[in-house]
Amino acid sequence: MNTLTSLVALVVVVAYAAAVSGKDTIIFNGSQFKGKHQLAASQPSAESKPAVDSAKQSPDAEDGFLVSSPMLSLALNLDRCKSGSTSADCSFGNSVFSPLSIASTLTMLLAGTNGTCYDQLRKALGYADGLDDKQINAAYQHIMNRTKKLDREQGSAITLNVANSLFSKSEMKMEFLRTANRFFASNAYHFSSAASLTITANQWVANKTNNRIKNIIGSVAPDTQLIVANVVYLNANWADPFLAELTTLQDFHVSPTETVQVAMMSDIGEVFYVDDKDLGLKMIGKPYAGEQLAMYLIVPTDNQGVKSLKNLEARLSDVIIRDLMDRMTAKTVSLAIPKFRIRQKLSLKNRLREMGVLALFSADDANLSRMISKPGVAVDDVVHQTFIEVTESGTEAAAATVANPTRTGPTRSFQANQPFMFFIMDVPTRSVIFSGRVTRPEFS
């Protein structure tokens, strides 16, 4: 009898002012793995032992552009349901995802799959036929190295951590371990029982969340084989913060017949800007400290609220968004952006199935033979949980100490007073760290 694998991918986004975090976790054979954000480095328990030493940087690491477009496409596909979808989690409300966390975790899983399972997952991830596995993996290695560099160079203004870990009871194949370690900076720890695996995985989560989450995994099935965890944590100051005293209650037009009062942040500042009359949109990019990361916001120019955004999203693609970014120029813009906070937890299993990932979830068809020797291993579910909060300064500590310089008059206006989309990207590689939409700003 085949033993089902349980995969739980968990992303948690936490933001104080303009900070976000994410976590993806893969769990095999029935356990659950939850958590918040990574705030502190951690060491595994004394019982565990590294299966592979820390990897050296690859001298031939490919540029992150190789996977940035597929990552953006994945973000768009996950956040909109296929026509005629029957998924219970398909809706058009507030949402937030971490495409970087989801894509990097599924790509690390891809390195362990074979046959139809590999083909379907790779197609859903959107990797071009001309790219081989080494190029794809090296692109993620490049992104991992960039996150370390950004975290190091920006000091307290930017905290950006990405961490991966494998907790295994079954013997894992050495080639997969080398790949996970070299390209995804993932260490692997071997255990003799599911109980010891659970204890150490819980400790890892607690340490990565600064003890905010403890004992997140309860009892697990004795045949639990493997937990694969990915953590992304971003806490970033705006390069040019909003002044809190300029935030006022203003109307937000959910639809032509529904208006709600929201806390609207206002400013006149220089941002990346483009508008497109044919598409019916305006787009800005507001940088974080160091101007290596930015939040891009897209608002329809048609004033039909949710209907306008839904119609716009249906027309957008990764190619169109990249073209818009190519056309952006620095402009002095009068800004109005609502403070917002989004919490979301949903299963991605049905959405991935709609994208053609079927074999991965079938005990009969799943093929993880490049990762693990144990037969009959399949994926049960992918759960994605997020939290994001956007406020004036990016961090509470910086809000009282930053003053706006004198500005010239605005040449453009960007009023996010109706439903809009957002992306948080690494500007040089255009890797999408977080993405989502706001249809009804909430801040409570």
Concatenate the DSSP letters of all residues of 348-360 into one string.
-HHHHHHTT--GG
**60, 160: one domain:** yes
Per-residue pLDDT of 415-439, as tens digits, reads 999 999 999 999 988 999 889 999 9
**224, 334: one domain:** no
State the average pLDDT over residues 98-123.
91
Reported confidence tier of residue 83, pLDDT bands at 50, 70, 90 = very low
Number of independent structural domains in the chain? 2
Domain that holds residue 113: 18-237+342-388
Higher confidence at residue 356 or residue 236? 356
Higher confidence at residue 216 or residue 200? 200
**271, 299: one domain:** yes
From 41-45, 157-161, 258-262, the region with the lowest mean pLDDT: 41-45
Question: Is the residue at 229 inside a domain?
Answer: yes
CA distance 265 to 397: 18
Please provide the distance, in angstroms rounded to a whole number, between the alpha carbons at the two ends of the chain: 49
Q: What is the pLDDT of residue 394?
A: 45
Question: Is the residue at 397 inside a domain?
Answer: no
CA distance 426 to 273: 17
- The two beta strands, 158-168 and 186-190, are parallel
Reported confidence tier of residue 20, pLDDT bands at 50, 70, 90 = very low
Q: What is the pLDDT of residue 382?
A: 66
Q: How many CB atoms lie within 10 A of CB 260?
A: 12
Contact 348, 383 (CB under 8 A): yes
CA distance 142 to 185: 11
**292, 370: one domain:** no
CA distance 262 to 440: 9
Contact 407, 269 (CB under 8 A): yes
Largest CA distance in the chain: 72
Q: Which residues contact 45 (CB under 8 A, 6 or more apart)?
A: 199, 200, 203
Question: Is the residue at 177 inside a domain?
Answer: yes
**What is the chain's mean pLDDT, rounded?**
75
Structure tokens at 422: 């957002």
Question: Is the residue at 443 inside a domain?
Answer: no
**289, 165: one domain:** no
Q: What is the pLDDT of residue 343?
A: 72
Higher confidence at residue 53 or residue 368? 368
Per-residue pLDDT of 243-281, as tens digits, reads 888 999 999 999 999 999 999 999 998 899 999 999 999
Structure tokens at 117: 């399972």
Write the DSSP symbol of residue 156: G
**47, 144: one domain:** yes
**84, 187: one domain:** yes
* Rounded alpha-carbon distances, angstroms, from residue 194 to 31, 197, 393: 9, 5, 44
Higher confidence at residue 205 or residue 131? 131
Per-residue pLDDT of 162-208, as tens digits, reads 777 777 777 889 999 999 999 988 888 787 777 787 788 777 766 76
- CATH code of 421's domain: 2.30.39.10
State the average pLDDT over residues 222-233.
68
State the average pLDDT over residues 70-87.
72
**98, 208: one domain:** yes
**384, 263: one domain:** no
**252, 366: one domain:** no
Question: Is the residue at 393 inside a domain?
Answer: no
- CATH code of 214's domain: 3.30.497.10
Question: Is the residue at 174 inside a domain?
Answer: yes
Q: What is the pLDDT of residue 215?
A: 59
Question: Is the residue at 10 inside a domain?
Answer: no
Contact 216, 12 (CB under 8 A): no
Q: What is the pLDDT of residue 75?
A: 86
Question: Is the residue at 277 inside a domain?
Answer: yes
Write the DSSP symbol of residue 116: H
**122, 219: one domain:** yes
Reported confidence tier of residue 53, pLDDT bands at 50, 70, 90 = very low
CA distance 127 to 142: 16
State the average pLDDT over residues 370-395.
70
**312, 257: one domain:** yes
Let me know the angle formed at the C-alpha of 294 by 290 and 298, rounded to the nearest 5 degrees: 160
